[in-house]
Amino acid sequence: MPPRAKRSPAFWYAMLIALVYMAGCKRLEKDLPPAVTDAVKAVQQQHCPDRRLCVFDIEVVMLGANLKLQGELSDSTAIAELVGAVKKAAPNFKVEEEIRLLPDATLGNRRFGLVRPAVANLRSKPAHAAELAHQLLMGSMVSLLKKEGNWYYLQTEDGYLGWLPEGSFRMASLNGIDEWLASDLVAYNRLDGLVREEANAAALPVTAVVLGCTMRRLEVVEQKSGDARTKWVKVRLPDRREGFIEFDAVTERDKVFPAAPGTAEDVVTTAKKFLGVPYLWGGASVNGFDCSGFTQLVFRLHGVALLRDASQQARQGEAIEAGRNFENLEPADLLFFGEQEGKITHVAISLGGARFIHASDFVQMNSLDQNDADYVDYRRQTFQFAKRMTALKPSPASSGSD
């Protein structure tokens, strides 16, 4: 073994100072005055009650008679309020802050991005092995908050926070985003397919696409082969690559993702098109769904914006009484489940009455009726409540009924 290097007196002095400092530091909720902890929590509750949708990562370091607030926030108005609340809660302490406001200033004006692949995997931490938190479709917009290595912490169109590697999106300024939105955007309207290098089915692929992938339409190209004629659309992808896709496979984006809500029957019809799609934790595309990723995409295709997670979707819509035998449930009502009262862990779409469709192992139809062949006892035992998305238009069959 090589001889151990001698440590200089300066090294041991520095170590002693560090140990003294660490011994005097106390983090939030540990040995701090309870009033300080309560003050921080109160400000968080006001400015960021759901930390899946905003950044409020604050710790309080106590050293002697000093309190330092450090961490990150995404709401600039919360900083002054937080400092004021802590000063009021601890009048005998000197309070200072070292809080980074997001988006980070080092990002400059290129603080936005457009998703490049057919499906981008949003992670809970900056690592490919981290939990899959969400999925984003090609052409989706993201707002960048900070960079760590080759990963970016960002916010999605539905407000969700997570990490994407820099290769999964093209950075853009606000002007770049405006230019993209003002262009002739189309969305893929089938479950899955390919954009090809040339306008023929034998050409090499440029990229895979799935339902909802957005691209820019450049021109329509007609190909002749004997007496047969086929139409293709030349498209430009969010990262500026170009290719060709079948004419009938794309539709104007605002028709695939309409702003105006559709009907409950439309929601159910679309949900059934995904039968058999496998379950994937964090999945929100036809490659694989989790329960809330499934409901979110189905409703988005009919003009209703749901939040990402089941527990968030449970806060939306109008509460309804399901009825003893679920007789009050209508098609497209959302059903919420959980083993503990008040803790929602699963969501499904009602088919009317006791039957429902959901992503569980795969997208399938089940029932809460014990006499139904598709009955699932676990779901009946864990059913908590139902919500109705009142933004949906009445179905033609129900609008004329008493």
What is the CB neighbour count within 10 angstroms for residue 93? 19
Tell me, yes or no, whether 274 and 385 share the same domain.
Answer: yes
Tell me, yes or no, whether 390 and 270 share the same domain.
Answer: yes
CATH number for 230 = 2.30.30.40
Whether residue 399 is contained in a domain is answered as: no
Last residue within a domain, chosen from 101, 128, 146: 101
DSSP, residue by residue, 253-310: HHHHS-SS--BHHHHHHHHHTTTTPBB-TT-EETTEE-HHHHHHHHHHTTT----SSH
The DSSP code for 252 is E
Give how many domains the chain has, as a whole number: 4
Tell me, yes or no, whether 66 and 134 share the same domain.
Answer: no
Distance of CA 157 to the CA centre of its chain: 8
Expressed as residue numbers, the domain containing 360 is: 264-394
CATH number for 272 = 3.90.1720.10
- pLDDT tens digits for range 141-197: 999 999 999 999 999 999 999 999 999 999 999 999 999 999 999 999 999 999 999
- The pLDDT of residue 7: 53
Q: pTM score, two decimals? A: 0.88
Dig out the tokens for 206 from the structure: 């440029």
Bridge partners of 101, per DSSP, are 73
- The pLDDT of residue 126: 99
Tell me, yes or no, whether 68 and 138 share the same domain.
Answer: no
- The pLDDT of residue 21: 36
Last residue within a domain, chosen from 80, 101, 122: 101
d(CA 60, CA 32): 8
Peptide bond into 91 cis (omega under 30): no
Whether residue 383 is contained in a domain is answered as: yes
What is the CB neighbour count within 10 angstroms for residue 44? 18
Tell me, yes or no, whether 354 and 331 share the same domain.
Answer: yes
d(CA 45, CA 56): 10
Dig out the tokens for 391 from the structure: 């933004």
Tell me, yes or no, whether 272 and 381 share the same domain.
Answer: yes
Task: List, for the chain, all residue ranges whose pLDDT scores fall below the cut of 70.
Answer: 1-30, 395-402
Whether residue 12 is contained in a domain is answered as: no
Q: What residue ranges in 139-282 does DSSP mark as E strands?
A: 141-148, 151-156, 161-165, 169-172, 185-188, 192-196, 205-210, 214-225, 228-236, 242-246, 250-252
* Angle value at C-alpha 312, between 48 and 170, nearest 5 degrees: 75
CB 11 within 8 A of CB 18: no
Tell me, yes or no, whether 358 and 274 share the same domain.
Answer: yes
Whether residue 4 is contained in a domain is answered as: no
Tell me, yes or no, whether 177 and 192 share the same domain.
Answer: no
- pLDDT tens digits for range 38-60: 999 999 999 999 999 999 999 99
Last residue within a domain, chosen from 84, 101, 118: 101
Tell me, yes or no, whether 273 and 369 share the same domain.
Answer: yes
CB 239 within 8 A of CB 116: yes
Whether residue 63 is contained in a domain is answered as: yes
Tell me, yes or no, whether 131 and 176 share the same domain.
Answer: yes
Tell me, yes or no, whether 123 and 219 share the same domain.
Answer: no
CB 30 within 8 A of CB 37: no
Q: Give the torsion sign (CA, 77, 81, 82, 87).
A: positive
Tell me, yes or no, whether 297 and 250 share the same domain.
Answer: no
